[in-house]
Amino acid sequence: VYDGVDQAMLDRTSKWLMKRRDGTGKFKRNPRALHQFGLTDNETMSIYITWALTEANFSDLQIEVDFAYAQAKKTKNPYQLGLAANILFNRGEEKRGQKLLTLLMDIQADEGAWKEGSGQKSAPGSSGKALRIETAALAALATMKSKSPNRTKLKKCMDFIKTSRGSFGGYASTNSTVLALRALVAYAKFSKRADESGAIEIYVNGK
């Protein structure tokens, strides 16, 4: 959401991740992790890492990109499709990106989200509402990167995200909140108009 993250930190992290590639399109993982993040299948986690690296503009990832495309196309897992479509658009691969985006949007529910499959989790381990928000945000971000966006489907995504906001301003989990905010910020720029009226309050020294 914030565009001022230290580039040196991004570079260090990305280079470390690049060293974890296993040569098949996936990434080596530590089986003794003492946290919940990433406790999903290795295919999903690997596609997520590839997405993160393409967001950081790393380019030496053809094996990983091809794996993400093939895996998402095979499983038709909405979360994987959303990640992989973004990967391909980030890389300028419009044709393959559009193919995955079409597969994803063809299974969008009327409310603008996607039904959760049995046992499916996002890379941070989200399920339920948080997973549905993450998937909708990824679908929206991919649509806005497409050269031929389906604006009707996009609006359904954004309407779902907007109505998923909690009473304290969050969108379920931390990660789904970040992805929701990224989609909302991108949509504000994409649509070039304000969809909501509101007031801005500025505080100086508590006043």
Residue 86 has pLDDT above 90, yes or no: yes
Please report, rounded to a whole number, the percentage of residues in the chain having pLDDT higher than 90. Answer: 73
> What would the pLDDT profile of 25-63 be if each residue is shown by its tens digit?
999 987 776 666 656 899 999 999 999 999 998 889 999
DSSP per-residue letters across the chain: --TT--HHHHHHHHHHHHTTB-SSS-B---TT--SSTT-S-HHHHHHHHHHHHHHTT----HHHHHHHHHHHHHH--HHHHHHHHHHHHHTT-HHHHHHHHHHHHHT--TTSS-PPPTT---TT---HHHHHHHHHHHHHHHHHHSSS--HHHHHHHHHHHHHT--TTS--SSHHHHHHHHHHHHHHHHHHTS-SS-------STT-
Residues shown for the chain? 207
Task: Compute, in degrees rounded to 10, the torsion defined by CA atoms 103, 108, 113, 119.
Answer: -60
Please report, rounded to a whole number, the percentage of residues in the chain having pLDDT higher than 70. Answer: 93
When pLDDT is cut at 50, 70 and 90, the band that residue 98 belongs to is very high
Rounded to an integer, the average pLDDT of 187-203 is 77
What is the reported pLDDT for 197?
A: 67
Per the prediction, the chain carries an average pLDDT of 91
Rounded to an integer, the average pLDDT of 7-33 is 90
> What would the pLDDT profile of 123-156 be if each residue is shown by its tens digit?
988 899 999 999 999 999 999 999 999 999 999 9
Whole-prediction pTM value? 0.88
Rounded to an integer, the average pLDDT of 159-174 is 93
The larger pLDDT score, comparing residue 32 to residue 122, is at 122
What is the reported pLDDT for 64?
A: 98
When pLDDT is cut at 50, 70 and 90, the band that residue 200 belongs to is confident
The answer for residues whose C-beta is within 8 angstroms of residue 181's C-beta and 6 or more apart is 1, 171
What is the reported pLDDT for 167?
A: 85
